[in-house]
């Protein structure tokens, strides 16, 4: 096994491909799909604000926003309540 030059002790112990599989498996294991109905989103600025609010709670979240319907689909490991509070904190209604 070759030294990869990383600053992490695991670089010396665990091969890189094993570490990557483990992280991906853990993320998928705890991820939940949540659908929110968000009122007040009318433009791309609103879409960006909601996106950033969700990412402030979970930077790894996968987000799909449909402006006309107000539907926001989020795949995240964070609880629904935390995501909803982040969106509401931007001034939007959340159901």
Assess contact for 41 and 71: CB atoms under 8 A: no
Instruction: Dump the DSSP string for 20-67.
Output: HHHHHHHHHHT-EEEEEEEES--SHHHHHHHHHHHHHH-TT-EEEEET
Task: Report the pLDDT averaged over residues 7-29.
Answer: 50
pLDDT tens-digit series, residues 47-94? 999 999 999 999 999 999 999 999 999 999 999 999 999 999 999 999
pLDDT at 90: 97
Task: Report the pLDDT averaged over residues 32-49.
Answer: 97
Backbone angles phi, psi at 8, to 5 degrees: -95, 135
Domains and CATH numbers, the chain: 31-94 (3.30.70.100)
pLDDT at 20: 45
pLDDT at 30: 81
pTM of the predicted structure, to 2 decimals: 0.69
């Amino acid at each position: 096994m070759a030294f990869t030059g990383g600053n992490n002790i695991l670089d010396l112990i665990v091969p890189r491909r094993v570490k990557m599989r483990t992280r991906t498996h853990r993320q998928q294991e705890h991820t939940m799909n949540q659908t929110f109905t968000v009122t007040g989103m009318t433009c791309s600025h609103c879409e960006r604000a909601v996106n950033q609010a969700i990412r402030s709670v979970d930077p790894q979240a996968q987000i799909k926003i449909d402006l006309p319907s107000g539907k926001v689909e989020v795949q995240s490991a964070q609880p629904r309540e935390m995501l909803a509070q982040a969106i509401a904190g931007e001034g939007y209604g959340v159901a």
